[in-house]
A and B are shown apart, each in its own frame.
Chain A
Amino acid sequence: MKPLFLSALLLAAMSAAPAQAKLKVFACEQEWGALAKELAGDLADVDIATSPLQDVHQIEAKPSLIAKMRRADLIVCAGADLEVGWLPQLIRQSGNQKVASGAGVFFAASQVSTLQKPARLDRAAGDVHPQGNPHVHLDPYRVLTVAKALDARLVQLDPGNASVYQQRLAAFSTRWNAAIKTWEAKAAPLKGRNIVVHHDSWIYLSRWLGMKEIGALEPKPGVPPTSSHLASLVATAKSSNTLAIVRAAYQDPKASAWLSERTGVPTVSLPFTVGGDAASKDLFGLFDSTIDKLLGLAK
């Protein structure tokens, strides 16, 4: 009798809890935390696991993150194995059944098509992502698709506030579509320009803006480049009227400075995510700043 009563009480407590408390969102990256804030506003507490200056490929499953994961109702992450080295450990150690599987797990890369899906999986090519390049947030159209899916998920988890989420999505979409038009008009001079990247994290941005990636300093993810690769990269960068050597704010500037010295091609540090520089206060600022910095070199 007693256990029955207890479990009934427990069940009641469980089903009652989510309706009262604010939705707790655990975002792996700044960009998806920012999107969750746009869509949920005051309805959710958004905890972001990583700082804009951390390499999200290489995070430790820290105790503080387990504690955050323990209280989450929803995790919002890039997916496509970007967080494979730490997220599964956090979920398992937290003992939080809400995010173990099902509606409490949201991966951005699963909502859109990904680029650079390797035809062949071989670690001789570095730490490749079998599900394609996970950095989909640098394509504003994909961001919008993710926003819609995320909004639907918020509605599913917190149906009582469905209308608010829908209104916020509508408002965000309107602003975002207008911003895309502005960005595309502004970024017209970047079309067709060549860039060298630090790591393959820019493909969505360069596709969108029509830029061409002619080389990468770290062509194999997670593996340092060979000297022969660097020599050929110097030659390519020199001869291709290269606009810039692009790196993310979190990456060590040494490698791009080295290449810049030998080629005369300027380096540029782009924010890569929300908070990556002073201007990138939100997703809009991220794209504003990114395009402004690239345009600054195109003049």
Chain B
Amino acid sequence: MKKSLIALAVCAGLAAVSPVTAAAPPAQSRIDALEARIKTLEANAEAMREQAAAATAALEATRAEMEAMKAAAPTEIAVASEPTEPAAAGGANGNAFNPAISVVLNGSYTGHSLDPDTYQRSGFPLVGEGAPSAKGFSLGESEISLAANIDEKFYGQLTLAVGSEDGGTELGIEEAYIDTTALPAGFTLRAGRFFSNIGYLNSHHAHSDKFSDRPLAYQAFLGNQYGDDGLQLRWVAPTDLFIEVGGEILRGQNFPSGGAGQAGAGVKTLFAHIGGDVGIENSWLAGVAALKSRTEGGEDGFVGDNTLYVADATWKWAPGGNFKDGGVTIRAEYFLDDRDGQYIDPVDPLLDQPWNGKRSGAYVEGVYRINRQWETGYRYDRLWADDNGPYASNYDPKRHSVMLTWLNSEFSLIRLQYSHDQPNASDTDDAVTLQYQVNMGAHGAHKF
């Protein structure tokens, strides 16, 4: 093919120049043409020789690799005949397509100086799972998570949580959602039950936390963690700087909402995160979010419109970028809760009153990774109550916590935590928690 094409090209070229060289004797032009053809053929031969050499080299390499493989001890080497496919998938066994299963087991012993049953937080009712941990032994939140690609367009995840509540055992669906994996231009749509992407900690499962309980602001404004049924659309910008924006529409069943208002779409959120690196040793992430709820009957007696604003910032530094071997993580989050509605007393309608006002809360924590086995950290929590309204208080709760964690491997840890909590003007709760947490099964991949 190539040869004839080139010959054709040469002929065409000759035809083109022939009028100019018409003066030259015809024999000369024929000799020129022949010379040109010989050169072309020589070039072709050279190219073929090179190709042959490359093929021989490739053959040699393959042979050498085969020999290397043969030389290897047969017990250690499993030569896959189809190396591009995982061996397990070839079997007739239907279990080969099992989703990745991971189990988190978690348990603790907590001693409180103040009985959790008499615990009262000034200006903030205890809502959701926002109460202090039970005294004595308890099974924290143990969970089972199943995750897999469903097909080339969807990914799914189901997380079941086993928790103990008032001495009984509860099994709940913590998350059950599908994600699209094939939307263009950096979009991801999520549907199902999931933790909202507002703030930093909210979308993280408790087992990746550095402390054994959530910050007071999470307990007071989100009932520990806000998850609900709905839709989430997320977009990541095609930029060097990490920029993620998105929004959610959620049922509005759980605190800070309630009653699934607006025909079961009572909560809307917007969130944005940006992040990046400073050199190879520093990384940061910051975000802002707003959650707007039409609440038909909140756990705290609220009916009306409430808006929660969250700002978060995280800075991580690790020598050489090896975060598991040392370094410092600093994180802060700020919450502002704005109510515009009514307080409906669950027992006595005479106590109903308007509820318009703002409350806020914040925490800052620092965790020092000493080495691969140990880490320690300190957290300061603060809530600012409202002077007016149904939960009026001129006292602002605060808490200090310190922790020390021993990590045997990536899959197990034991944590000791002490916290000094001043929930109201007259009480102090000193709590010590000893906690274990392990991870079995599929190797989890954690968010930043």
Binding site for B on A (CB under 8 A): 10, 14, 50-51, 53-55, 58-64, 66-67, 70-71, 81, 84-89, 92-97, 100-102, 110-117, 123, 126-127, 131-132, 139, 141-142, 144-145, 148, 170, 173-174, 177, 180, 207-208, 222-224, 250, 252
**Distance in Å from the Cβ of A299 to the closest Cβ of chain B?**
26
**Distance in Å from the Cβ of B168 to the closest Cβ of chain A?**
32
Partner of A223, one of B80, B244, B408: B408
Residue B239 interfacial (CB < 8 Å): yes
**B182 in contact with A70 (CB, 8 Å):** no
**A127 in contact with B445 (CB, 8 Å):** no
- How many B residues face the partner with a CB closer than 8 A? 75
Partner of B79, one of A54, A60, A92, A113: A113
> Nearest CB to that of B77 among chain A residues?
A115
Give the residues in chain B near A62, CB-CB below 8 Å: 275, 277, 283, 448
**A67 in contact with B240 (CB, 8 Å):** yes
Q: A58-B324, A224-B372 are in contact. Are A113 and B183 (CB under 8 A)?
A: no
**B241 in contact with A67 (CB, 8 Å):** yes
> Nearest CB to that of B246 among chain A residues?
A95
Q: A64-B275, A101-B181, A102-B152 are in contact. Are A87 and B283 (CB under 8 A)?
A: no
Residue B71 interfacial (CB < 8 Å): yes
Residue B60 interfacial (CB < 8 Å): yes
Binding site for A on B (CB under 8 A): 50-51, 53-54, 57-58, 60-62, 64-65, 68-69, 71-72, 76-80, 83-84, 86, 149, 152, 155, 179, 181-188, 234-244, 273-277, 280, 283-285, 316, 320-325, 372-373, 408-411, 440, 443-448
Q: A117-B77, A250-B322 are in contact. Are A60 and B316 (CB under 8 A)?
A: yes
**B276 in contact with A97 (CB, 8 Å):** no
Partner of B445, one of A14, A71, A85: A85
A250 to B448 CA separation, bound complex (whole angstroms): 22
**Distance in Å from the Cβ of A126 to the closest Cβ of chain B?**
7
Q: A94-B236, A111-B83, A222-B410 are in contact. Are A63 and B445 (CB under 8 A)?
A: no
**B236 in contact with A85 (CB, 8 Å):** no
**B443 in contact with A64 (CB, 8 Å):** no
Give the residues in chain A near B275, CB-CB below 8 Å: 62-64, 66-67
Q: A85-B444, A115-B77, A224-B373 are in contact. Are A70 and B321 (CB under 8 A)?
A: no
A14 to B243 CA separation, bound complex (whole angstroms): 21
**B149 in contact with A97 (CB, 8 Å):** no
Give the residues in chain B near A250, CB-CB below 8 Å: 320, 322
Give the residues in chain A near B445, CB-CB below 8 Å: 61, 84-89
**Distance in Å from the Cβ of A142 to the closest Cβ of chain B?**
7
**A54 in contact with B61 (CB, 8 Å):** no
**A55 in contact with B325 (CB, 8 Å):** yes
Most chain-B CB neighbours within 10 Å: which of A89, A93, A110, A139? A93
A15 to B176 CA separation, bound complex (whole angstroms): 34
